[in-house]
Chains A and B, each alone.
Chain A
Amino acid sequence: MRLWRWLVGFVLIRLLRRGKPAEEPAEQLPRRRRRPDRIIPVGTPERRAELLVVLFFALAVVCGIAFVVTYGIYKPRQLPDEALGLEMGLCLIFIASAFTVIAKRLVVTEELEEEYPSESPEEQEEIVEIVHESGSRITRKRLLVGAGAGAGGALGLASLTTVVSIGPFWATGPLDKTPWKRGVRLVDEEGRPLSAAEVEERTFYTAFPDGADPELIGSPLIVIRLDPSKLTLPPGRAGWAPDGILAFSKVCTHAGCAVALYRKPTFTPVEPNVALVCPCHYSTFDPFTGGQVIYGPAGRPLPQLPLMIDASGYLRAAGNFSARVGPGWWNVRSKPT
């Protein structure tokens, strides 16, 4: 109890002393100066602002240490990143608050004036003069400049040639490559062959060529079953859809996304039938007419793959796609090879 009183008394005395007016700053700084006047004007001390700054820095210390402690006491994998973010963020924000107080109340803020820099016409002319006058020993200037430019150009060309190694620049064959040809069996994502019997209406299946890389742009297929009587496929595609089973490239002809949506007609006046929709920019393709674009930005129909059903009832390709697959480029409308 006595100790408590003693402590309170001590703190009070300290606080009272603090309240005394500050001594003249000029006396506090006995400096040897060559100049009689100061550069920065004298400001009035602000003890409460100083205290506030100390408080903010102290809070920042608490948050910083809390970060380290939090990191230390939790097992990895159970670390609450929220707590870490909060502690790190608050530590920074307390430091920012301290600097705000310093900026607003503790630092002498002068408003000074100076000239905007202008231009230096003399130096400009001198630079030109130096360049011109340096060439007094040169008689055939254009020849020399031409030879130099030739050397520089050749060096640049030689260096740029190495860039060709980056890629197969003109061999664009791979852009058109698909693993599909007559007889290739359709398999699902697990490599299981797809039988005609398991393809149902009102849903769609993703299929791949048996034994080929599924990631190739020409690999993935959408397989659907439609009422054969409703099909109006383009001429020359007779027999491409055995039992009403159709296959299209799954890569959108607009920007190359996967045509991953199968639209169920919910509003028959404008959406009379099912359609294949790309979720990226909503290009919509009509499977009944062989993949024609009926909505969205795509500029080409979805390529169709002719199908056949083999003796064991499995689906196989009956040939290559009706057109080149993937997003448009210069040669995309050429016949598929």
Chain B
Amino acid sequence: MSPLFRQSPRDSSPQDPLLTPVRFIDQRTAAAPMLKKTLRYLFPDHWSFLLGEVALYAFMVLIATGTWLSVFFDDHTSKTVYHGFYTPLQGVTMSAAYKSVVDISLQYPAGLLMRQTHHWAADVFVAAIVLHLMRVFFTGAFRRPRELTWTIGLILLFTAFLEGYLGYSMVDDLLSGMGLQIGYGVGLSIPVIGGPLMLAIFGAPFPGNTHFWTRMFIMHVFILPALLATLIAVHLGLVAMRHHTQFKESPRHTNKRIIGVPMFPGQAPRSLALMFFTVGILFLLGGLVQINPIWQWGPFEPWLGTNGAQPDWYLGWLIGALRLMPSFDVTISHFTLIPNPFWGGVLFPGLVLGILMAFPWVERRLTRDYGAHNLADRPRDHPTRTGFGFAFLTFVFLVFAFGAGDRVFVLFGLPYNTQLFAFRVALLVLPPAVFLLARKICRDLQGAEEVEQIQEEAEEEERRRSPTLLGT
């Protein structure tokens, strides 16, 4: 009978020292074939494929800095009087939560660095996901067999919105309290169930009871991060199982065969470089560029508010939508079926998510293209999709931009009311115009390429003919 393992540890024949740990692992996991395959996993070479990686590395920074911050954060709203280091807040009554974050920022060594890096990482995390989403959309990389990856990516993005929102709401400074208040109002506006639902979540009418702060804390530091990590793992697993798409850079790049750089040695140092750049830039931002100086805002009380409050960038589209809606509630006798914040705060983001979720299936049906696609389109290859994508982006961006309308008024003196009117008109007019324009540009680019190809073929023909002409 032959032994199960060809080599036992007693074998002392001269060998590569690296073989010892490799053999140790393989004998215990039988994973050598898989490990070898992983080392030689192919990455198509295109810069735009790195956007998702940036999001992954920002997430790692969020976990690391977030763990550090959680050691000092206090999730209580019980009132204390500040007698700390920062003079302007001396003697001010505030919640324990707010005090702990002021202390993290101004008292604990490296606390401000960690907090600001955490905040920057959250902004970069969502930005990288959004850019990555655009890349996947405009190259048609969401098509069969990658619809699940697309869907999970979208859930990831919207979970990230909620995670970020809870993160800055926990701080209990004036701005975060105003954001939480709006969240409560938007939640109440969900038809029929809004009231009971918000009462259940907050434990009491706004500002809620102590349970609410524990719930927010556990959501932000455990439940949502665990969900995000799981979704990221599934997302990456799906990518790896079906491989990346690739552009048709040469006749060798086909729907059947992938061409790329192996994970090791080619891709590994590139990814590591990107990782260290991302983390490095986040720490530089965290150290050098101030973000959300909460000690300046002061503590929140439900009866306080300030003009010019702006949320983090990724919630700007929601404040814009809430501000753009005309004033009306939908009522049935004395019952309020649809309170106003529902349109901008629930329906609008819901529609954006729904349209993006359904897009792979809708496009497939409309184009009758049910095939599997490993080749990524260039945006011009699919004028209608690109046109729709730009129109959709224009719509969302206009809503987003109006969220800062009050700041535009302060900075440039453009009256808010004029802006409101202009944006409402633009929202109806611009998206269709952008659709037609983008589609036309795509078609023109395609046309120009065809002309170029015909010219090249003609020149080729010419060259083939000329020697024979000379010969005669």
Instruction: Assess whether A329 is in contact with B336, with CB atoms less than 8 Å apart.
Output: yes
Chain A residues with Cβ below 8 Å from B281 are 89, 93
Given contacts A85-B287, A258-B302, A334 and B334 within 8 Å (CB-CB): yes
Given contacts A116-B255, A172-B199, A217-B206, A255 and B182 within 8 Å (CB-CB): yes
Contact with A along B106-125 (1 / 0, CB 8 A): 11111111001100000000
- Pick from A31, A279, A300: contact of B16, CB below 8 A: A31
Chain A residues with Cβ below 8 Å from B203 are 167
Instruction: Assess whether B284 is in contact with A175, with CB atoms less than 8 Å apart.
Output: no
Chain A residues with Cβ below 8 Å from B339 are 299, 327-329, 332
Instruction: Assess whether B304 is in contact with A177, with CB atoms less than 8 Å apart.
Output: no
Chain B residues with Cβ below 8 Å from A113 are 42, 252, 257-259
Given contacts A260-B306, A279-B308, A215 and B301 within 8 Å (CB-CB): yes
Instruction: Assess whether A89 is in contact with B307, with CB atoms less than 8 Å apart.
Output: no
Interface residues of B in 324-358 (CB under 8 A from A): 325-329, 331, 334-337, 339-341, 344-345
Instruction: Assess whether A177 is in contact with B205, with CB atoms less than 8 Å apart.
Output: yes
B204 at interface by CB-CB < 8 Å: yes
A109's nearest neighbour on chain B, judged by CB, is B266
Instruction: Assess whether B266 is in contact with A99, with CB atoms less than 8 Å apart.
Output: no
Contact with A along B250-269 (1 / 0, CB 8 A): 00100111111110011011
Q: In the docked arrangement, what's the CA distance between A256 and B207, Å? A: 10
- Pick from B14, B242, B307, B329: contact of A300, CB below 8 A: B329
A216 at interface by CB-CB < 8 Å: yes
Chain B residues with Cβ below 8 Å from A116 are 242-243, 255-258, 374
Instruction: Assess whether B305 is in contact with A256, with CB atoms less than 8 Å apart.
Output: no
Instruction: Assess whether B243 is in contact with A175, with CB atoms less than 8 Å apart.
Output: no
A283's nearest neighbour on chain B, judged by CB, is B327
Among A100-108, A153-161, A191-199, the stretch in contact with B: A100-108
Instruction: Assess whether B283 is in contact with A88, with CB atoms less than 8 Å apart.
Output: yes
Contact with A along B385-397 (1 / 0, CB 8 A): 0000000000000
Interface of A is mostly: loop
A250's nearest neighbour on chain B, judged by CB, is B303
Given contacts A220-B302, A297-B326, A297-B327, A92 and B280 within 8 Å (CB-CB): yes
A257 at interface by CB-CB < 8 Å: yes
Chain B residues with Cβ below 8 Å from A88 are 113, 280, 283, 287
Chain B residues with Cβ below 8 Å from A208 are 303
Among A75-83, A143-151, A225-233, A311-319, the stretch in contact with B: A75-83
- Pick from B116, B242, B340: contact of A328, CB below 8 A: B340
Given contacts A76-B109, A81-B113, A111 and B196 within 8 Å (CB-CB): no
Instruction: Assess whether B269 is in contact with A255, with CB atoms less than 8 Å apart.
Output: no
A115 at interface by CB-CB < 8 Å: yes
Q: In the docked arrangement, what's the CA distance between A252 and B181, Å? A: 10
Q: In the docked arrangement, what's the CA distance between A262 and B334, Å? A: 30
B378 at interface by CB-CB < 8 Å: no
Instruction: Assess whether B288 is in contact with A86, with CB atoms less than 8 Å apart.
Output: yes
A117 at interface by CB-CB < 8 Å: yes
Q: In the docked arrangement, what's the CA distance between A254 and B325, Å? A: 11
Interface residues of B in 300-320 (CB under 8 A from A): 301-309, 319
Chain B residues with Cβ below 8 Å from A258 are 178, 181, 302-305
Q: In the docked arrangement, what's the CA distance between A47 and B233, Å? A: 39
Contact with A along B43-73 (1 / 0, CB 8 A): 0010000000000000000000000000000
Given A96-B277, A219-B302, 5 extra CB contacts under 8 A = A89-B285, A112-B259, A116-B256, A170-B196, A280-B181
Q: Which residues of B approach A to under 8 Å, CB–CB?
A: 14-16, 40, 42, 45, 85, 106-113, 116-117, 178, 181-182, 184-186, 188-189, 191-196, 198-207, 241-243, 252, 255-262, 265-266, 268-270, 272-277, 279-288, 301-309, 319, 322-323, 325-329, 331, 334-337, 339-341, 344-345, 374, 406, 416-417
Q: Which residues of A approach B to under 8 Å, CB–CB?
A: 31-32, 40, 71, 74, 76-77, 79, 81-86, 88-93, 95-97, 99-100, 102-103, 106-117, 166-172, 174-175, 177, 206, 208, 214-217, 219-220, 250-252, 254-261, 270, 278-283, 293, 295-300, 326-334
Could you show 6 A-B contacts with beta carbons less than 8 Å apart?
Answer: A107-B266, A116-B243, A255-B322, A297-B325, A329-B339, A331-B336
